[in-house]
Amino acid sequence: MINSQNATNAQIAEHFGMTADPSGMPYAIDNKGRRYYITDLRTRLRKEAKTKKTRKARAVTQKIALPSAEEHLAMLNTEFSEYHWFIRESQPGLDIEELGLKFYFIGGAGVHQLNIRSKNFSSKELNNFYADKKILKGHKGVGSITIGSLSYDEVVSIASDIIEKSKTVI
Asked if 43 and 53 touch (Cβ cutoff 8 Å), the reply is no
Q: DSSP code of 131?
A: T
Distance CA 35, CA 140 (A): 69
Q: Assign residue 149 a region: left if phi > 0, alpha if psi is -120 to 50, beta otherwise?
A: left
Q: For the ranges 29-33, 54-58, 70-74, 118-122, which has the lowest average pLDDT?
A: 54-58
| Rounded Cα gap, residues 95 and 105, in angstroms | 12
pLDDT of residue 65: 63
Confidence of residue 64 (pLDDT cuts 50, 70, 90): low
Structure confidence at residue 46 (pLDDT): 86
pLDDT-derived band of residue 58, with 50, 70 and 90 as boundaries?
Answer: low
CATH code for residues 69-169 = 3.90.1150
Q: pLDDT tens digits, residue range 90-148?
A: 788 889 989 999 999 988 777 889 999 999 998 888 988 998 888 887 666 678 999 99
Tell whether the model's pLDDT for residue 89 goes beyond 80: no
Measuring CA to CA, how many Å separate 53 from each of 8, 46, 62, 167?
A: 22, 11, 14, 55
Stretch 53-69: mean pLDDT:
65
Smallest CA-to-CA distance from 169 within 127, 104, 122, 102 is with 122
pLDDT mean over 23-36: 89
Q: How confident is the model at residue 1 (pLDDT cuts 50, 70, 90)?
A: low
- The mean of the pLDDT values for the chain is 84
Q: Percentage of the chain surpassing pLDDT 70?
A: 88
Residue 54 has pLDDT above 70, yes or no: no
Residue 72: predicted pLDDT: 83
The torsion defined by the Cα of 145, 149, 152 and 155, in degrees rounded to 10, comes to: -20
